[in-house]
Structure 1
Amino acid sequence: MLGNVRGRKSSREKILDAAAELVAEIGAGRLTLDAVAERAGLSKGGLLYNFPSKDALLQAMIQRMIDQVSDAKESLRAQMAPGPNLEARLVATTLLNMCCGGKMQEVATGLMVASAENPRLLDPVRGVISATLEQVKANSDDLDAALLGWLAVEGLSNLEMHNLSPFSDQDRERIVQAINRLLTKGIAK
């Protein structure tokens, strides 16, 4: 990992970890730079050197989440069997593996709330969504199936990410199996 020496976290990583913990606990709206600096064990000046504003810190948190999803997808690419709609299957599997529970869910929800005050915070996410759409379009054997599968996964993962899903574990498994069938077998025409 860049910036790490012998396994130690950089100040930037400590700050992002501390901010993520606080967002998960109290939400992004109540997050203060003083609280992040204290949690990270740094001076406020040290925090401001890395992140000159709360928005800069929130943007870095969003970028880190984007990078984590991208890294997980690329790691999965080496393991996924070739076949139809590979890009859509990669996106679907990555989102379904990462969306549920844990700190990422809490942080994502907190950051979504923060974006209500500053919608531009989500510009990088909009960019990733547009790029993903273009990748899915360019690398699909059955574009209709790929788009429907991707949209279904986005909907399911968003319901789960925000703790709004009405589906039982059995329902979810049925939905995931149907998405996988759609992406591997396509739509009968």
Structure 2
Amino acid sequence: MEAATAVAHAVGPAHLSLEAVAEQAGVSKGGLLYHFPTKASLIKAIVERHLETVATAAGIPACGGDADADGDGVALRMMRAFLLTPVAKPGGAQGFLAAMAETPEMLDPIRQHNERVAACLRRAHEPEIAMIAFLVVEGLRCLQLFDANPLTEEEIGRIFATLDRILGCPAETA
């Protein structure tokens, strides 16, 4: 997976090849094909791994029905994770979009992740505010993916600090 992610970042998902991933990983193409029979299955695994990393950073439970999940905390950790995540390489989204247009079921892990997030956020003290934080994070992520973000880091920081205050957790203690 590390090799596949490295190749995807280096050449873009549209140009990702199973041969390049096998070479980067130091395995035979046959060995790679045993685990990922198609390029689509490999890209889907990359997406799932990324979503797992995001979920772990935000403290999103594996099961969206976890009654112990703290919706306010999930919203705050999502914002923190966004601030700590490096900006995506401009233009990197096109390859994933092309792959997803070709194979719509690649969106399934994203849909499932978003359902888990929403289930957690519904348990927040003020679910609507927690959902606004989710929409802000996802909107900013999309703007970054398409290299169309007009906001400065300082402006984003102030927006998140405002959401921190509204969610009941001052930015300096979060």
TM-score by structure 2 length? 0.78
SS of the residue aligned with 1:166?
Answer: coil
Whether the 8 Å CA contact 1:95–1:154 is kept in 2: the answer is no
Q: Partners of 2:153 and 2:78 in 1: how far apart? A: 21
* Counterpart AA for 1:56: S
Residues 19-45 of structure 1: per-residue CA shift (max 9 Å, x gap):
212211221112111121122111111
**Unaligned runs of at least 5 residues, structure 1:** 1-15, 76-82
The answer as to whether partners of 2:12 and 2:92 remain within 8 angstroms in 1 is: no
Give 2:30's aligned residue. 45
Per the alignment, in what secondary structure is the counterpart of residue 167 of structure 1?
coil
CA distance in 2, matches of 1:20, 1:113: 17
**Do residues 140 (structure 1) and 124 (structure 2) align?**
yes
Q: Equivalents in 1 of 2:155, 2:78: separation in Å? A: 21
Which residues in structure 2 correspond to 1:19-98 (within 5 Å)? 19-74=4-59, 85-98=72-85
Cα distance change of structure 1 residues 147 and 84 upon mapping to structure 2, 3 Å threshold: closer
Q: Shift of residue 127 of structure 1?
A: 0.6
Contact 1:87 1:136 in 2 (8 A): yes
Question: Quick check: 1:129 aligned with 2:114?
Answer: yes
Would you say how many aligned residue pairs link Structure 1 and Structure 2?
158
**1:162 Cα shift?**
3.6
Q: TM-score, normalised by structure 1?
A: 0.73
Q: Which amino acid letter does the alignment assign opposite residue 88 of structure 1? A: A
Deviation at 1:108, TM superposition (A): 6.8
In structure 2, the gaps of 5 or more residues are: 61-69, 170-174
Q: Which moved more, 1:53-62 or 1:149-158?
A: 149-158
User: How many angstroms apart in 2 are the aligned matches of 1:56 and 1:32?
Assistant: 12
